[in-house]
Amino acid sequence: MIEEAVASLGEPPFRARQVYEAITRGLVTDFSAISTLPVRLRKALAARLQPVTIEEVETRVTRRGDARKTLFVTADGQPVEAVLMTPPRRATVCVSSQIGCAVGCAFCASGRLGLRRDLSAEEMVDQVLAAQRALKPEGRHVTNVVFMGMGEPFHNYDETLRACRLLNDPAGFGLAARAISVSTAGVVPGIERFAREPLQLNLAVSLHAGTDVLRDRLVPLNRRYPLDAVFTACERYVARTRRKLLFEYVVLEGVNDTAEQVEALARRLRRPLFHLNLIAYNETGGPFRRPRPGALSAFRGRLEAAGVRCTVRRSPGDDIKAACGQLALRSVRAAAQ
């Protein structure tokens, strides 16, 4: 887009590189601020292009100050949200890849929106650039990007990978590939394609259940890609990449933390490079309950005793409704009233 606009103005290609650098490294939001360009070019570009594709509407910060969630609006008026988590020494942006999601997991607010549309790579990168801009005054910068916001990245594979390549581009934002993670609800062809990507990106697979009976209920995509198919693809992924594979598991008390699930999970997960990450369910108004204090660590203990490597992810931002999809859902409801 930048190249085409610059070329159509009869300018040499190095001008396009200057604009790209000013946006991805200089974090400018306005062409008039690109001081390396002649003023007439700045004006001509401003008349043709928008340097940012999404506009910030609202940012909420947690009481502890360890996470902030931003609601953006796209040029066509759609809500997009991104969360910036800032534990000590890290700054991780949780990026949305779609507006809503077609998968419809039983516990997820994004699913309730249905799929409205895919996001473009630029709309994804702009969520990260906004976070970088917010961190700059504190002398900090984005250290990690996870595609774990709204949407199923492998239902929007090409744009998600294009966003990863843009973020990684040493001539642009320059984030290491190993600092970028993509999370899927188990789209098997996507996992297979991802295993063949030349970039050393990380993969996470959202599991949420160890048996097909339960997973069919929690993650409807399981009816299309059941656990055997998902795990065949996952085993191939680790065999090919030799990279660690993270399985995400939202713990729903009394539903997926039973002895039956522990046994089923152990059978599937006792493999080198497989790692289970437990996340306490954030209330989204459904029938599920967040595990009581102690229940989560008890579940972890039973899994470890059964030979599963696992960790508990502290989920910051519960008080700002940082569970994926919650803020966007609220904004859609507010707009409908």
What does the alpha-carbon distance between residue 287 and residue 282 come to, in Å, rounded to a whole number?
12
> What value does the CA radius of gyration of the chain take, rounded to a whole number of Å?
21
Residue 221 binds ligand SAH, judged by CB under 6 A: no
Q: Cα-flanking dihedrals φ and ψ of residue 201, to 5°?
A: -80, 160
List the beta bridge partners of residue 205.
184, 247
Which candidate in 4, 55, 81, 123 is catalytic?
81
Task: Based on the residue annotation, tell me whether 310 is a catalytic residue of this protein.
Answer: no
Question: Smallest gap, in angstroms, from Cβ of residue 156 to ligand SAH?
Answer: 10
Instruction: Between 114 and 301, name the residue whose CB sits nearer to ligand SF4.
Output: 114
CB of 148 to ligand SAH, least distance (A): 4
Using CB under 6 A, which of 184, 211, 222, 331 touches ligand SAH? Answer: 184
- The closest of 251, 247, 266 to 299, measured between CA atoms, is 251
Number of residues located near ligand SAH, criterion CB under 6 A? 17
SS3 per residue for 155-199: HHHHHHHHHHHHHHCCCCCCCCHHHEEEEECCCHHHHHHHHCCCC
Using alpha carbons, select from 297, 323, 186 the residue that is nearest to residue 247.
186
Residues of 82-109 as b/e, b for ≥16 C-beta within 10 angstroms? bbbbbeeeebbbbbbbbbbbbbbbbbbb
Per rule CB under 6 A, is residue 148 in the interface with ligand SAH? yes
| Residue 93 near ligand SAH by CB under 6 A | no
- Give the Cβ contact number of residue 58 at 10 Å: 12
User: Contact between 153 and ligand SF4 (CB under 6 A)?
Assistant: no
11 or 81: whose CB is closer to ligand SF4?
Answer: 81
Site for ligand SF4 in 178-197 (CB under 6 A): 185
Catalytic residue among 105, 108, 164, 324: 324
161 interacts with ligand SAH by CB under 6 A: no
State yes or no: is 324 an active-site residue. Answer: yes
- Interacting residues with ligand SAH (CB under 6 A): 101, 107-108, 148, 152, 183-185, 206, 248, 250, 279, 281-282, 284, 323-324
Residues belonging to the active site: 81, 324
- Interacting residues with ligand SF4 (CB under 6 A): 101, 103-105, 108, 110-111, 150-152, 185, 206, 324
